[in-house]
Amino acid sequence: MNGVIVIDKPRGLTSHDVVDRVRRILKQRSVGHLGTLDPSATGVLPIVVGSLTRLAQFYLHSEKSYEGEMRFGFATDSYDADGEPTGPVAKVNLDSSRLNELAGEFRGVLEQMPPPFSAKKVAGVPAYKLARKKQEVSLKPVRVEIFEFEILGCEEEVARFRARVGSGTYMRSVAHDLGQKLGCGAHLASLRRTRVAEFEVHAAHTVEELEEAAQQGGAEELFVHSRKLLPEFPCVTATDENLTLIRSGRAVNLPEFSRASKVKVFHGQGELIAIATRVAGTLFHPGIVFGGESV
């Protein structure tokens, strides 16, 4: 079984928890995910299965979209609602116009400090492990990019937002930093990821839906069609002659793709057999060859 399924991650599970559940449901050992979500966050978690786990390398720097809420009036040590308040609660009177004005300062490329409770490593140890032990966490700012960040509305001390960001951006840090700019403190109250690369929330399935489909023998019907993966790479259906060469890792001539840097090579309509890279002219080398059928 080789493929990609978009899971709608529930609150309270880690991304690794979801991988473990999918592994048990599908009875597959080789299962991974594309982009970690915090336990308190929900939404799009693409899961790769079988030989298509090798696709992960193409999604390391994917854009992500979020919707959520920020609570103003106090900050927390984890920068979200699961943390402990770092000071007294302040009375706030939010103004959408003012917040959107401040939100504009976060758009573009900026240096962002990761939250102390994060997976960023300090001397080889994840920061959250040190933070839980009340040990000093010395993190360095990371360059990130925020393409869109908009305040959708305010109700009392809570502001709703929508954002589209580059890889490595922490919305928890955005909430914390916005609270500092406003002078009242803030933290991320809730977060839902609506998109990772080409994977969107409307195509996501719950773990329970996957389990039910698997029990009825139709789990693969929930998988993303392999021709929709990596839409930036053109598709080519291999001839019988090229199929043999590609499966053995040998270069093939694809004259119709002289301007492409990489192509997705298929056997028939649904079986992704390789990602080939142009090495010279119209000669492509299958740098990644997938085994078995994909869906």
Instruction: Say if residues 199 and 98 touch (Cβ distance below 8 Å).
Output: no
Cα-Cα-Cα-Cα dihedral sign, residues 39, 45, 49, 53: negative
Neighbours of 234 (CB within 10 A): 14
Upper half-sphere CA count for residue 248 (Cβ side, 13 Å): 9
Active site residue 95: no
User: What backbone phi and psi angles, to 5 degrees, belong to 202?
Assistant: -65, -15
Q: Find, among 168, 187, 189, the residue nearest to 178 by Cα.
A: 187
Give the CA-trace dihedral at 173, 61, 273, 20, to 10 degrees. -20
Q: How far apart are CA 260 and CA 282, in angstroms?
A: 9
- Please list the residues that pair with 150 across neighbouring strands: 162
Of 269, 213, 205, give the one whose Cα is nearest residue 236: 269
Give the bridge partners for 146, in sequence order: 108, 165
Which listed residue (8, 20, 38, 177) is catalytic? 38
Residues labelled as active-site residues: 38
